Amino acid sequence: MTSKASTRFDLLRKATPAAPPGGESLEQFVTGEEPTTQISIRLPKSLVRALKIHMAQTGQTQQTILQRLLETYLREQGAV
């Protein structure tokens, strides 16, 4: 009977607070980082291969490369 009581207690106990939605953390706000979100895109295999080669040659991450490219393109288009 003790195990039922402890199980019931565990079910009724409040869980620890979850992380803020969207992957946001207090650290992001303290350091001034903009919260991020994840997207999925389909690209031609040849383009992905070229991206991976560039990543290896430059030591940059996929996120860094694509973020820089998108920001540059959108700035040139007047979107940001």
Return the residue matching tokens 């106990």.
13
Q: Which CATH number goes with the domain that contains 59?
A: 1.10.1220
Asked whether residue 16 is domain-assigned, the answer is no
Q: What is the gyration radius of the CA atoms in the chain, in angstroms?
A: 22
Asked whether residue 15 is domain-assigned, the answer is no
Enter the pTM of the model: 0.58
Domain hosting 73: range is 38-80
pLDDT in tens, 27-79: 656 777 888 899 999 999 999 999 999 999 999 999 999 999 999 999 999 99
